[in-house]
Structure 1
Amino acid sequence: MDVFPDFGAVGGAAHLREIVGALLMFVLIISVLMLVVCSVIWALAASNGHYQTAARARTGVWLACGTAALAGAGVALVNFLLGIGAGL
């Protein structure tokens, strides 16, 4: 007896791609805004001698860069997984 999952029962892969794409677009926009704000704060704090604030803003810059990289990789990962799932 062969048992296989019914992949035709789960529809809406196109809708899933649209939803994930829209959510990751918002993540990228917020990440770029965070990058700009944190870099400005970093520059102002470093020039005025507030080194603890500059260190926290530098951490924010690195987190914003990492978030943008993960969001960009997330689109490719979801498309890859949906392609694999459709080919099973």
Structure 2
Amino acid sequence: MNTLAASVGPDFGAVGDSSQLRAIVGALLTYGLLTAVLMIVVCAATWAMSSSSGSWHAASKAKAGLFVAVGGAALTGAALAWANWLLGVGAHL
């Protein structure tokens, strides 16, 4: 199980100047996940406060924002697999 976890990540050896690409992709994934998690916290808190105060319109907007933030976090996490696939396709072209 430990060797499987160590092998997860994009194969940057297939493209030239891979060190800069690795830094750019890592930074983008980090900022994307950080933003998504921050929005999850903000939307969940807004949903809880607006539900308790009886503001149904704000609660429904916060709930929608929470679902969008969870979807964004999932897509950001899936971006690593997508980058792996694109780098694999690029190596065969």
Identify the residue that residue 73 of structure 1 maps to in structure 2: 78
Greater than 4 Å deviation, 4+ residue runs: none
Give the CA RMSD over aligned residues.
1.5
TM-score normalised over the length of structure 2? 0.76
Higher-RCO chain (CA-CA 8 Å, sequence separation at least 6):
2
Higher radius of gyration, 1 or 2: 1
Task: Select the residue among 25, 29, 45 that pairs with 1:20.
Answer: 25
Please list every run of 5 or more consecutive structure 2 residues that lacks an aligned counterpart in the other structure: 1-14
Identify the residue that residue 7 of structure 1 maps to in structure 2: none
CA–CA distance in structure 1, aligned partners of residues 23 and 85 of structure 2: 14
CA–CA distance in structure 1, aligned partners of residues 89 and 69 of structure 2: 30
Identify the residue that residue 45 of structure 2 maps to in structure 1: 40
Give % identity. 49
Contact 1:17 1:79 in 2 (8 A): no
Aligned residues: 79
